[in-house]
Amino acid sequence: MSRSERVTDWLKANLFRSTADSIVSVVVGAIALFVLFRIVRFVFVTGRWEIVETNLSLYVTGAWPDAEMWRLVATVLLAAFVSGLIAGFIARSREIEAGVEAVSLSPRARIIELVVRLWPLLLGLALVLALTRTVMPVLLVVSAAVAVVLGRMLGRLLPRRSPPWLAALAVVTLLGVVWLMANGVGLESWGGMLLNIFLAAFSITLCFPLGVMLALGRRSKYPVVRLLSVGYIELFRGAPLIALLLMVDVAIGFFLPQSIVPSSPVRAIIVFILFTAAYMAEVVRGGLQSVPGGQVEAAKALGLSPISTTFRIVLPQALRNVIPAIVGQSISLFKDTTLAGAAMGLADLLNSAQASTAQEQFRGQGLIVESLVFVLFLFWVGAYTMSRESQRLERRLGVGNR
Judged by CB under 8 A, the chain residues 243 through 272 that form the site for another protein are 243-244, 246-247, 250-251, 253-258
100 binds another protein (CB under 8 A): no
Q: Pick the binder of another protein from 1, 46, 67, 99 (CB under 8 A).
A: 99
| First and final C-alpha spacing in the chain | 41
Determine if 379 is a binding residue for another protein (CB under 8 A): yes
Residue 391 found at the interface with another protein (CB under 8 A): no
Q: Which is nearer to another protein, 113 or 297 (CB)?
A: 297
Binds another protein (CB under 8 A): choice among 125, 197, 225, 274:
225
Q: Is residue 109 close enough to count as binding another protein by CB under 8 A?
A: no
CB of 323 to another protein, least distance (A): 13
Residue choice 179, 222, 259, 363 for contact with another protein (CB under 8 A): 222
331 belongs to the binding site for another protein (CB under 8 A): yes
Choose the stretch contacting another protein; rule: CB under 8 A; options: 10-18, 73-81, 134-142, 183-191: 10-18
Site for another protein in 346-365 (CB under 8 A): 350, 354
Stretch that binds another protein, among 20-28, 59-67, 144-152, 262-270 (CB under 8 A): 20-28
On the CB side of 85, CA atoms within 13 Å amount to 17
Asked if residue 336 binds another protein (CB under 8 A), the reply is yes
Per rule CB under 8 A, is residue 402 in the interface with another protein? Answer: yes
Indicate whether 179 belongs to the interface with another protein (CB under 8 A). Answer: no
Restricted to residues 267-306, the positions that interact with another protein (CB under 8 A) are 292, 294-295, 297-305
Among 94, 117, 219, 335, binds another protein (CB under 8 A): 335
Closest approach of Cβ 383 to another protein, in Å? 4
Does residue 48 touch another protein according to CB under 8 A? no
Among 141, 158, 270, 384, binds another protein (CB under 8 A): 384
- 192, 349 contact by CB (below 8 A): yes
